[in-house]
Amino acid sequence: MKAAILSTGDELTTGRTLDTNANYIADQLLGLGYEVTAMMTVGDFPDRIEAAWKALFERADVIIGTGGLGPTADDLTTETVAAMIGRPLIEDKPTVDRMRSLFESMGRTMPENNLKQALFPEGATILENALGTAPGFRFETETPHGTRYGVVLPGVPREMKHILADSVLPWLSSLRRSDEVFRSHTFQTFGISESALDEMVAGVLDPETTRLAFRAAFPQISVRVSVAGSPDVVAARLDAAAKAMRERLGEYCYGEGNTNMETEVGRVLSERGATVAVAESCSGGLIGNRLTDVPGSSGYVLGGVIAYDNSVKTSVLGVSKATLEQHGAVSTEVAEQMAAGVRKLTGATFGIATTGIAGPGGGSEDKPVGTVCIAIASDDRTASHRYQLWGNREWVKLLTSQIALDWVRRAALGQDPTQSSVLRK
């Protein structure tokens, strides 16, 4: 079964409000095995609303529309839909009574323009809204493309979600004509470009029964495996596909499912009862910030030092002035002393340090913008590496933090980060 989503409102087409409804509905539909073939947004104009419904009738069996159900003059969805499907508007008495008593319970008289919200196309099924005045409705109509189902919901996200869950999803579930279900599994990767990832996994899976989707929202590069099938085979099919992917991805994969690098670092540290402290120069606090974005991170993050100025490197972290003068602030030698220094200062299991040139200024021939040194200190050793990163300031900081977090993760797993083929580049 194919579905489409229509969002209505000038606040959306003028960029004033970000539409989160369509995304939410799409996710819910996927879970029921519906394929969303199109999502569309138009402003509060009857001709555009009607043309959008008609365009979506060409593309899907079920259309779910949100918005335009309010009491004001620019709320035009119900009358437009009724005219489009050739049905008169009928006032629904129970809805009128409910709205009047809702206003009375708030000690107010219902404004007469709210009566508009009790009008529905003849024959429509009214979808109760326990959280607001405007109910939704659904209808069935014959179109040149076949029978189509329309659902109309309020645009207020909490009301939409409530009606969707209560009245729409159960009905959609019963409407599906197939037994086929969908399942998916996601792998999070680091150290490989989206294109190299694509090449790496080419031919691993059967394109007849599985589908791969890559997503690069740097620093997250993920690949999702989706399988379809009858309920009795789909789990085994997904397991087999995931196993093949896991083997092929090897150490480029740092986590599976809805996770990210900072969450994985926290998981590994927690499992080992280890703690971490940061000594950040070029990353400026980003590593600390990402680590502490994870709920419960106070269990393994002690804190650390943002050693942006050299005076902080020497006075707080104990970096030697001679080393600074001899090798410069951006050097593996200074990074190692920073990592060891913050570990000593805080007593953390691991001290992780960054020093580099994020740009746009500060680069030299020897050490151009993007030169970043990373070091880690633990009780038995200190390791460091010099990277040449690229991109603008924001990018260098982000990449630095991602590499440093992976260093911590690997060190906590007992690996030597400098020996990782992923991190040696």
Q: Which residues, numbered 103-162, are part of the site for a copy of itself (CB under 8 A)?
A: 105-108, 111, 113-114, 131, 156, 158
Nearer to a copy of itself, 122 or 199 (CB): 199
Classified as helix, coil or strand, 98 is helix
Cis preceding-peptide flag for 360 (omega within 30 of 0): yes
Nearer to a copy of itself, 215 or 272 (CB): 215
230-259 residues near a copy of itself, rule: CB under 8 A: none
Q: Does position 198 bind a copy of itself by CB under 8 A?
A: yes
- By CB under 8 A, which span of 89-97, 245-253, 283-291, 330-338 interacts with a copy of itself? 283-291
- By CB under 8 A, which span of 138-146, 171-179, 236-244, 340-348 interacts with a copy of itself? 340-348
- In the complex, the smallest distance separating the C-beta of residue 30 from a copy of itself, rounded to whole angstroms, is 5
Rounded Cα distance between 382 and 304, Å, is 17
Of 152, 153, 335, 345, the one binding a copy of itself by CB under 8 A: 345
Q: In whole angstroms, how far apart are CA 139 and each of 3, 21, 63, 84, 193?
A: 15, 20, 10, 12, 47
Of 77, 260, 283, 332, the one binding a copy of itself by CB under 8 A: 283
Rounded Cα distance between 180 and 33, Å, is 7
Do strands 62-66 and 89-91 pair parallel, antiparallel, or not at all (unpaired)? unpaired
Nearer to a copy of itself, 140 or 213 (CB): 213
- In the complex, the smallest distance separating the C-beta of residue 141 from a copy of itself, rounded to whole angstroms, is 20
Rounded Cα distance between 418 and 140, Å, is 63
Nearer to a copy of itself, 125 or 173 (CB): 173
- By CB under 8 A, which span of 83-91, 241-249, 296-304, 378-386 interacts with a copy of itself? 296-304
Q: Residue type at 361?
A: G
Q: Does position 178 bind a copy of itself by CB under 8 A?
A: no
Compute how many residues bind a copy of itself; rule: CB under 8 A: 113
349-408 residues near a copy of itself, rule: CB under 8 A: 358-362, 388, 390-395, 397
- Structure token digits, residue 339: 């990592």
Whether the Cβ atoms of residue 372 and residue 389 lie closer than 8 Å to each other: yes
Of 194, 318, 386, 420, the one binding a copy of itself by CB under 8 A: 194
Greatest Cα-to-Cα distance within the chain, rounded to the nearest angstrom: 87
Of 288, 341, 351, 356, the one binding a copy of itself by CB under 8 A: 288
Q: Does position 220 bind a copy of itself by CB under 8 A?
A: no
Half-sphere exposure of 291 (CA within 13 A, CB side): 30
Q: Does position 171 bind a copy of itself by CB under 8 A?
A: no
Kind plus residue range of the DSSP H or E element containing 400: helix 393-412
- In the complex, the smallest distance separating the C-beta of residue 215 from a copy of itself, rounded to whole angstroms, is 5
Nearer to a copy of itself, 305 or 408 (CB): 305
Q: Phi then psi for 125, rounded to 5 degrees?
A: -90, 125
Rounded Cα distance between 105 and 115, Å, is 17
Classified as helix, coil or strand, 122 is coil
Rounded Cα distance between 303 and 317, Å, is 13
Rounded Cα distance between 138 and 77, Å, is 12
- In the complex, the smallest distance separating the C-beta of residue 387 from a copy of itself, rounded to whole angstroms, is 10
Of 145, 233, 296, 421, the one binding a copy of itself by CB under 8 A: 296
Of 259, 289, 323, 415, the one binding a copy of itself by CB under 8 A: 289
Which burial class, exposed, middle or buried, applies to 379 when counting CB atoms under 10 A from its CB (0-12, 13-18, 19+)? Answer: exposed
Q: Does position 293 bind a copy of itself by CB under 8 A?
A: yes
- In the complex, the smallest distance separating the C-beta of residue 274 from a copy of itself, rounded to whole angstroms, is 14
11-70 residues near a copy of itself, rule: CB under 8 A: 11-20, 22-30, 35-43, 48, 51-52, 55, 59, 70
Percentages of the chain per state (helix, strand, coil), in multiples of 5: 40, 25, 35
Nearer to a copy of itself, 78 or 297 (CB): 297
Strands (E), 69-219: 89-91, 119-121, 125-127, 136-143, 146-153, 181-189, 210-217
